[in-house]
């Protein structure tokens, strides 16, 4: 087997798919109401700053992934512990998205179907894809992304007729606080979740430019989320939007052009499932790579099936209901994720800087 | 067939010497032994007019040789030319150089080699006092003419097609590429059939690693016989369980030439008019050689039509099942009402209707494709009348399903090469849709894409060119760019030499 | 090993074939509801559904049938249908909900919650209020249309050429209901006797305050309402005019309208300025006015402008005094245009609305005179 190589473009499309992931259908930052566009921009700016840490870590240790870096930075024992934390984070995130997926399907279409059936289908394709390796995932996402963009553009342009610019006004009516609050939410879900990719990619120094990959992906993914959220708020208005679990779905449901061009909300499901598939696979891949590193295994591929099955079981039992899930996603998650997304990477970067300097001196 | 192999096996185990002996009688005896109970092998002893000591015998297989050429170029000179004053040891040489007027003559002493040349239509000349025999090429069996292949018809473009005769086929390619860089390398595959296989590539373009890989795989083949290139195609293909082809085939010399120019490698197999090309990528299913001769707008339109057709053929029945049984809210109201009307009093659930009718369609197709054209028509009448009209009238099957199946069938025939894979994909998707509706369908497509994207053909990713929006990458995928734009060859295939046209021609 | 494989394969197959029945349903297993009505009497909801019945066979025909049921909640009533012979109801293709005015007077939120919450009914179902009559009666007198509720849907769509009733979809209604500073309105439907036949008629609108119905507007008032809300897409302005004792009935056809609402503070008092800008063409003149002259046209224009202004003013007065309900969304406009002011007045907006000053300015542009330039003349 030749070494798996990925191009910048493929990596970008994979991160973009990851960012779109479940945020496309759940909608982000609804507490900012009509100022959601502002919240997204603020979140993007924060994300750009945090990305700088990630990229810096990458450029300090080219061709290594997060877990190898942690091992180097913290030594054998603390390193293993922190690796475990990240494995948990990505495992938990994967289970969350898996949960999102079947909750969505269950609410929207199949209230009577037992959830484990949906889980088995979604989980199986993810396990299969991860088994085939990162290269397949990357190439798939670079294909899917074209499909998704076409669908998103078509569907969004169709909803022009039901948009109302007044839904955006007045700006900053409730002050800046709810905006900042929701920006923090958007920052942690989905933008800073890209910390997972530190564990997914082993970039090649000669071929890949992590700076370009991360920033372009963030810009692109941010733009898509921006457009979609703007569309939702323009169509639905803030008070109605707040009461909905799946604003994108409802937005598209309202499109009715003539007798025939209507009822196309399935397009949202397609986009969501493709993106969620990439997101779950990335999380699964990340946790498998972490476990591989902890136990010094030759290949993570034997781990994929057991870890994937565990993730499915976990997803099945993690929440009692969709209300609980929403509460977690919008109230607790941002605080829970903060250490993983910001604090630990920052510590890694600082210690790594010191260590590499020492190394240079000793040479 | 089985019997034939058995007999051969028995014979091969018999004790036969490796080389010829000096005595003519003994040699003849050896061959008579080898070919016992084979009356097509003719032994003809010959004596010279002048030299009474000269004793010879020619052996050939009737039907494989050109009798006239044997008569006038071998037997007549041997009888009429004066051989009296030639030294015994030089007889064979003299015969070879001065007497026998055939372009391809060589000496051989190994019985194996002689036997094989006999099978290839050569005539063997054995003479007294010589441990060597002359192998004279007198090939002359009846061949099929070069006609337009039925399976790949074109409106515009050359009308030549390959035949079963490998040398003719090679000549058809050689006539189109006049460069010494075009290489033909022969190997023999098949323990019993000893089929000639020719690997053909352009040295300056094709990737050496792919050639080496191909050799490795071909040399690993251990089979008794190769009757068609399909054998090789299946044995050396990458993912053996995949329904998708990872090795292409064509009956048209012009498309094989085009593939060679892109850096691909062609494999000719004696006895098969289908020439293999590799590596093969997914988009080649949708390419037709005619695309490159026609106006590029029209060709691109056809290309998109084929891609769309493939999508429809794979998805339409599955989506129909999903919408009808899970997602009635997604059907526009007027359509739902008319379908609901059509489905009244139909006894079968939609899924069985669709599966059953598709099965019937496949049966009709398979029956029709093997029958002579005249009976084929009857089948189609039976198909349309009985299945179409009557079953709808009798309310056994609803009319929309007939439309769906007809659409599926027609679009399937848009890309005949993809048919075998399409049937499998379609049934998988239908079953998934009947379990989980459109979500099952989406999971199914994700699965198919995982499979497609993980496939490789001789190290080249199968989905080459997808997932790209750069003009130079998609120039020959969903669209067919104009020729003046196709400057580069496909990147991962023609590693050595990308440039198809020099930049100068673009500047004009 | 072989046994294990066989077991695995059969398990997977079982997974496929035994499973396909949770949400698997054939079209003919349920009845498609085209629309339904909600009545309420003494805390019991009375629902009537119009159900589409399609008969197969050579002469394919669709007809409808009415089913009624009752229950403590809407959902309860829907499920109670199962007690009676028939199939399960399917709501995704319901296009119209008719709510009786009696039920709406007691609050409309409990009636709409099911449509809002359940996934089957769609958000672009349209709502109608049956004025002073049980909603059930409307469905019963559906007339001879093939599917009555769908024709109601078409009638509501066609209202854009008349502008006598608003077209309100469930999501718009819910959105308006939830917002502070605007009260929703709904189109009304009544039965009218015509040629010895009772037929339904959509005209006018029902005014809500909070989620309770408080009154009605007639057709022309509704037109004024739509003018204020900038929702006029078409329709006519008709008036009898006399110019120098030349009486004529004139109809202007509306092509385009733009209404601007501007809150203003003048002399420490909140003033709302409404200006309409309407493009019309002269659609019909039954009289003897030569409007090829600039002068005459100006007169026509000013007559209509004045008329429109008065109508709008009357309506606002009515809303302020009679219904005390901000159906125009003035509060919403103030919130958008003057957010800081709105924060102050929001708690007392209900009181403030009753006394707020409104100025109306209408502008009508006669763009063309349709196909002919002059009225038909009697040359004698």
CB A225, CB A190: distance < 8 Å = yes
Same domain, B267 and B408: no
CA count, 13 A, side-chain hemisphere, B201: 24
In a domain, A104, yes or no: yes
Q: Residue C58 — pLDDT band, cuts 50, 70, 90?
A: low
Residue A34 lies in a domain: yes
State how far the alpha carbon of A29 is from the alpha carbons of A24, A337, B301, B447, C116, in Å.
12, 16, 44, 33, 22
Two structure tokens written together for A30: 């609804």
Dump pLDDT digits (tens) for A38-49: 999 999 999 999
Which residues span the domain enclosing B328?
301-460
Chain B residues 120-179 with a CB less than 8 Å from chain A? none
Residues C106 and C44 sit within 8 Å (Cβ to Cβ): no
Assigned token pair, A37 = 């566009």
Give contacts of A256 with chain C, Cβ < 8 Å: 124
pLDDT reported for residue A1 = 37
Per the domain annotation, does A282 fall within a domain? yes
Helix (H, G, I), strand (E, B) or coil at A336: helix
For residue range B18-62, what is the model confidence (pLDDT) as tens digits? 788 888 888 888 888 888 888 888 888 888 888 777 888 888 888
Whether chain B has a CB inside 8 Å of the CB on A201: the answer is no
Q: What is the CATH number of the domain that holds A132?
A: 1.20.1740.10
Query: A26: which residues sit within 8 A by CB, 6+ positions away?
Result: A100, A245, A246, A329
- Other CB atoms within 10 Å distance of the CB of residue C109: 12
CA torsion through residues C352, C354, C357, C359, sign = positive
Contact C174 A107 (CB under 8 A): no
The tens digit of pLDDT for each residue in B459-495 reads: 888 887 665 556 666 667 777 878 887 777 776 666 6
B466 neighbourhood in chain A, CB within 8 Å: 139, 143
Q: Say whether both B222 and B347 belong to one domain.
A: no
What DSSP string describes A67-79?
HHHHHHHH-HHHH
How many structural domains are present in chain B? 3
Phi, psi of B108 (to 5 degrees): -150, 150
Q: Is residue B52 part of a domain?
A: yes
Query: How far does A171 lie from chain C, in Å, by closest CA?
Result: 8
Do strands C61-71 and C44-55 pair parallel, antiparallel, or not at all (unpaired)? antiparallel
User: In this structure, are B235 and B267 located in the same domain?
Assistant: yes
**The pLDDT value given to residue A43:** 93
Mean pLDDT for C274-288 is 83
DSSP code, position B130: -
Determine, yes or no, domain membership for A3: no
Whether residue B449 is predicted with pLDDT greater than 90 in this model: the reply is yes
- pLDDT tens profile A163-178: 888 888 788 888 888 8
Report the range of poorest mean pLDDT among B432-436, C41-45, C246-250: C246-250
Examine the domain organization and report whether B339 and B432 are in the same domain. Answer: yes
Residue with tokens 């659409």: B407
In a domain, B437, yes or no: yes
| B449 contacts chain A (CB < 8 A) | yes
For β-strands C96-100 and C30-41, DSSP reports them as parallel
Please state, rounded to an integer, the average pLDDT across all residues of chain B. 84
C touches which chains (3+ CB pairs under 8 A)?
A: A, B
Token pair in block for residue A260: 């025939």
Contact assignment for A136 to B436 by CB distance below 8 Å: no
DSSP one-letter string for B344-394: TT--S-HHHHHHHHHHHHHHHHHHHHHS-HHHHHHHHHHIIIIIIIIHHHT
Of the residues B280, B311, B334, which one is the last residue of a structural domain?
B280
Q: Is the pLDDT of residue C293 over 80?
A: no
**Residue A181 domain flag:** yes
C21 and B CB contact within 8 Å: no
* Helices of type H across C319-348: 330-337, 339-345
Closest CA to B206 of B232, B227, B177: B177
How many domains, chain A? 1
Sorting pLDDT into bands at 50, 70 and 90, what band is B446?
very high
Written as one string, the DSSP assignment of B164-218 is S-HHHHHHHHHTT---TTEEEEEEEE-TTT-EEEEEEEETTTS-HHHHHHHHHHH
Q: Rounded distance, CA C156 to CA C56, Å?
A: 30
- Tell me the C-alpha to C-alpha distance, in Å, between residue C182 and each of A131, B300, C319: 56, 55, 12
Q: Is A59 a domain residue?
A: yes
- CA dist list (Å): C242 to B497, C18, C249, C252, C300: 89, 80, 9, 15, 9
For A289, the domain range is 8-362
Q: By the CB < 8 Å criterion, does C307 face chain B?
A: no
Q: Are residues B228 and B98 in the same domain?
A: no
Model confidence band, residue B3 (pLDDT cutoffs 50, 70, 90): very low
User: Residue C341 — very low, low, confident or very high, per pLDDT cuts 50/70/90?
Assistant: confident
Phi, then psi, of B259 in degrees rounded to 5? -65, -40
Residue A292 lies in a domain: yes
Task: Indicate whether B362 and B453 sit together in one domain.
Answer: yes
Q: pLDDT tens across C61-74, in order?
A: 778 888 888 888 88
In whole angstroms, give the CA distance from residue B290 to residue B303: 11
User: In 3-state terms, what secondary structure has residue B83?
Assistant: coil
> Can you give the pLDDT at residue A222?
92
Those residues of chain A that have pLDDT short of 70 are 1-3, 363
Indicate yes or no: CB of B344 within 8 angstroms of CB of C32.
no
User: Do B232 and B187 fall within a single domain?
Assistant: yes
pLDDT in tens, C168-190: 888 888 888 888 788 888 999 98
Please count the other Cβ atoms lying within 10 Å of the Cβ belonging to residue B137: 18
- Residues B230 and A267: their CA atoms lie apart, in Å, by 41
- Give domain status of residue B358, yes or no: yes
| Pick from A207-211, C122-126, C141-145: least confident | C141-145
Q: What is the pLDDT of residue B508?
A: 36
- Distance, in Å, from the CA atom of C195 to the CA atom of C183, rounded to the nearest integer, reads 38
Which value, to the nearest 10 degrees, does the dihedral of the CA atoms of residues C121, C122, C126, C129 take? 30
d(CA B475, CA B456): 21
Least confident of C20-34, C65-79, C208-222: C20-34
Closest partner CB to A139 (pick from B436, B439, B461): B461
Q: What is the DSSP string of A3-72?
A: PP---HHHHHHHHHHHHHTTHHHH-S-GGGGGGHHHHHHHHHHHHHHHHHHHHHHHHHSTT--HHHHHHH
Strands B456-457 and B275-278 come out as unpaired
Is the model's pLDDT at C277 over the cut of 80?
yes
Contact (CB, 8 A) for B121 and B270: no
With beta carbons under 8 A apart, name residues in chain C contacting A254.
123-124, 169, 171
pLDDT of residue B10: 45
Residue B312 shares a structural domain with residue B242:
no
pLDDT at C158: 87
Instruction: Find how far residue A141's CA is from the centre of its chain.
Output: 13
Name the pairing type of β-strands B133-137 and B105-108: antiparallel
Task: Give the chains touching A; criterion: ≥3 Cβ pairs < 8 Å.
Answer: B, C
What is the mean predicted confidence (pLDDT) over C252-278?
87
Which pLDDT score is estimated for C264? 85
Whether residue B357 is contained in a domain is answered as yes
Q: What are the tens digits of pLDDT across the range B261-308? A: 888 899 999 889 999 998 888 888 888 888 888 888 998 999 899 999
Burial of B360 (0-12, 13-18, 19+ CB in 10 A): middle
pLDDT (mean) for B202-211 = 88
Question: Which positions in chain A touch C340 (Cβ < 8 Å)?
Answer: none
ipTM of the complex: 0.92
DSSP sequence for A216-254? HHHHHHHHHHHHHHHHHHHHH-HHHHHT-S-HHHHHHHT
Which two structure tokens, joined as six digits, stand for B500?
């198809």
What do you get for the CA distance between the two ends of chain B, in Å? 62
What percent of chain B is modeled with pLDDT above 90? 16
- Chain A residues in contact with C150 by the CB 8 A cut-off are none
B256 and B122 within one domain:
no
pLDDT at B9: 46
Query: What pLDDT is stored for residue B316 in this prediction?
Result: 94
How far apart, in Å, do the first and last CA atoms of chain A sit? 37
Per the domain annotation, does A127 fall within a domain?
yes
């Amino acid at each position: 087997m030749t070494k798996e190589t990925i191009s910048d473009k493929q990596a970008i499309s994979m991160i973009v798919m990851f960012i779109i992931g479940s945020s496309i259908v759940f909608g982000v930052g609804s507490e900012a109401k009509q100022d959601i566009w502002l919240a997204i921009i603020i979140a993007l700016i924060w994300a750009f700053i945090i990305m700088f840490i990630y990229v810096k870590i990458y450029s300090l240790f080219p061709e290594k992934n997060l877990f190898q870096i942690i091992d180097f930075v913290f030594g054998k024992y603390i390193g293993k512990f922190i690796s475990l934390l990240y494995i948990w984070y990505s495992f938990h995130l994967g289970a969350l998205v898996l949960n999102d997926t079947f909750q969505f399907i269950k609410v929207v279409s199949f209230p009577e179907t037992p959830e484990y059936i949906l889980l088995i289908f979604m989980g199986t394709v993810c396990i299969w894809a991860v088994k085939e390796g990162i290269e397949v995932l990357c190439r798939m996402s670079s294909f899917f992304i074209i499909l998704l963009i076409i669908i998103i553009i078509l569907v969004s342009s169709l909803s022009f007729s039901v948009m109302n610019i007044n839904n955006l006004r007045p700006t900053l009516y409730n002050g800046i606080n709810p905006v900042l609050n929701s920006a923090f939410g958007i920052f942690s879900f989905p933008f800073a979740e890209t910390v997972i990719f530190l564990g997914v990619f082993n970039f090649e120094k000669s071929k890949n430019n992590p700076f370009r990959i991360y920033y372009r992906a963030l810009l692109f993914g941010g733009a898509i989320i921006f457009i979609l959220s703007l569309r939702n708020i323009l169509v639905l208005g803030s008070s109605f939007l707040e009461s909905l679990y799946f604003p994108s779905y409802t937005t598209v449901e309202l499109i009715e052009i003539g007798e025939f061009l209507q009822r196309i909300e399935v397009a949202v499901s397609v986009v969501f499932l493709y993106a969620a598939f990439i997101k779950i696979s990335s999380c699964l891949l990340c946790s498998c790579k972490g476990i591989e590193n902890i136990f010094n295994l030759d290949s993570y591929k034997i781990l994929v099936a057991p870890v994937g099955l565990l993730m499915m079981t976990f997803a099945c039992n993690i929440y009692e209901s969709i209300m609980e899930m929403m509460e977690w996603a919008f109230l607790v998650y941002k605080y829970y994720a903060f250490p993983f997304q910001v604090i630990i990477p920052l510590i890694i970067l600082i210690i790594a800087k010191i260590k590499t300097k020492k190394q240079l001196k000793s040479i | 067939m089985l019997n034939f192999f058995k007999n051969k096996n028995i014979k091969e185990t018999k004790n036969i010497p490796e080389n010829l002996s000096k005595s003519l009688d003994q040699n003849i005896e050896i061959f008579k032994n080898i070919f016992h109970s084979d009356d097509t092998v003719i032994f003809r002893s010959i004596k010279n007019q002048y030299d009474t000591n000269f004793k010879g015998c020619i052996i050939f297989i009737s039907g494989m040789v050109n009798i006239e050429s044997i008569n006038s170029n071998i037997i007549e000179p041997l009888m009429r030319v004066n051989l009296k004053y030639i030294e015994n040891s030089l007889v064979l040489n003299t015969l070879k150089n001065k007497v026998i007027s055939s372009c391809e003559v060589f000496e051989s002493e190994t019985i194996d080699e002689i036997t094989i040349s006999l099978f290839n239509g050569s005539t063997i000349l054995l003479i007294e006092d010589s441990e060597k025999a002359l192998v004279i090429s007198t090939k002359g069996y009846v061949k099929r003419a070069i006609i337009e292949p039925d399976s790949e018809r074109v409106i515009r473009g050359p009308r030549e097609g390959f035949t079963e005769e490998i040398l003719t086929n090679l000549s058809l390619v050689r006539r189109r590429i006049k460069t010494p860089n075009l290489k033909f390398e022969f190997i023999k595959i098949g323990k019993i059939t000893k089929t000639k296989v020719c690997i053909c590539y352009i040295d300056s373009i094709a990737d050496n690693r792919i050639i080496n890989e191909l050799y490795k795989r071909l040399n690993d083949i251990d089979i008794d016989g190769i009757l068609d290139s399909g054998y090789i195609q299946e044995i050396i293909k990458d993912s053996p369980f995949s329904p998708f082809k990872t090795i292409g085939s064509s009956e048209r010399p012009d498309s094989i030439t085009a593939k060679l120019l892109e850096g691909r490698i062609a494999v000719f197999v004696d006895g098969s008019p289908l020439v293999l090309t590799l590596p093969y990528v997914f988009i080649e299913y949708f390419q037709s050689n005619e695309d490159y001769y026609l106006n590029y707008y029209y060709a691109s339109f056809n290309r998109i039509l084929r891609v769309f057709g493939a999508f429809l053929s794979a998805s339409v029945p599955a989506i129909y099942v999903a919408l009808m049984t899970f997602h009635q809210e997604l059907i526009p109201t007027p359509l739902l009402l008319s379908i609901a009307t059509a489905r009244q009093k139909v006894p079968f659930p939609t899924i069985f209707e669709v599966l059953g009718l598709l099965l019937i369609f496949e049966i009709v197709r398979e029956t029709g494709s093997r029958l002579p054209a005249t009976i084929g028509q009857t089948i189609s009448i039976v198909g349309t009348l009985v299945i179409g009209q009557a079953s709808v009238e009798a309310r056994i099957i609803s009319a929309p399903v007939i439309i769906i199946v007809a659409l599926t069938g027609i679009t399937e025939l848009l890309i005949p090469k993809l048919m075998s894979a399409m049937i499998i994909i379609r049934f998988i998707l239908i079953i998934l849709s009947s379990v989980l509706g459109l979500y099952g369908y989406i999971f199914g497509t994700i699965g198919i894409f995982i499979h497609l994207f993980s496939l490789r053909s001789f190290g080249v990713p199968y989905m080459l060119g997808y997932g790209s929006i750069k003009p130079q990458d998609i120039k020959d995928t969903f669209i067919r760019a104009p020729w003046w734009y196709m400057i580069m060859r496909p990147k991962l295939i023609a590693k050595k030499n990308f440039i198809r046209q020099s930049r100068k021609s673009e500047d004009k | 090993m072989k046994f294990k494989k066989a077991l695995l394969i059969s398990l997977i197959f079982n997974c496929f074939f035994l499973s396909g029945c949770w949400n698997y349903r054939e079209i003919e297993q349920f009845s498609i509801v085209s629309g339904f009505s909600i009545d309420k009497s003494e805390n019991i909801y009375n629902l009537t559904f119009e159900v589409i019945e399609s008969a197969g066979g050579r002469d394919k025909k669709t007809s409808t049938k009415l089913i009624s049921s009752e229950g403590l909640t809407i959902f309860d009533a829907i499920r109670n249908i199962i007690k009676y012979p028939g199939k399960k109801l399917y709501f995704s293709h319901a296009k119209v909900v008719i709510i009786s005015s009696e039920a709406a007077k007691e609050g409309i939120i409990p009636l709409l919650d099911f449509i809002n919450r359940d996934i089957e009914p769609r958000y672009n179902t349209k709502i109608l209020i049956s004025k002073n009559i049980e909603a059930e009666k409307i469905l019963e007198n559906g007339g001879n249309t093939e599917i009555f509720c769908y024709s109601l849907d078409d009638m509501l769509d066609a209202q854009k050429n008349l502008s006598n009733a608003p077209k309100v979809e469930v999501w718009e209604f819910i959105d308006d209901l939830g917002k502070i500073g605007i009260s929703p309105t709904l189109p009304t439907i009544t039965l009218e006797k015509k040629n010895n036949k009772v037929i339904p008629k959509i005209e006018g609108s029902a005014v809500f305050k909070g989620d309770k119905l408080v009154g009605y507007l007639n057709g022309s008032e509704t037109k004024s309402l739509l003018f204020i809300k900038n929702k006029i897409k078409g329709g006519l302005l008709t008036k009898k005019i006399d110019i120098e004792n030349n009486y004529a009935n004139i109809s202007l056809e509306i092509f385009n309208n733009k209404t601007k609402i501007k809150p203003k503070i003048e002399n420490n008092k909140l003033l709302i300025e409404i200006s309409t800008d309407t493009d019309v063409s002269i659609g019909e003149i039954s009289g003897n006015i030569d409007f090829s002259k600039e002068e005459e046209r100006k007169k026509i224009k000013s007559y209509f402008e004045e008329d429109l202004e008065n109508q709008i003013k009357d309506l606002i007065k009515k809303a302020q005094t009679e219904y005390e309900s901000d159906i125009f969304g003035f509060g919403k406009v103030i919130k958008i245009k003057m957010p800081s002011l709105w924060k102050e007045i929001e708690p007392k907006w209900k009181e403030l609305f009753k006394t707020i000053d409104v100025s109306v300015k209408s502008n009508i542009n006669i763009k063309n005179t349709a196909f002919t330039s002059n009225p038909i003349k009697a040359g004698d």
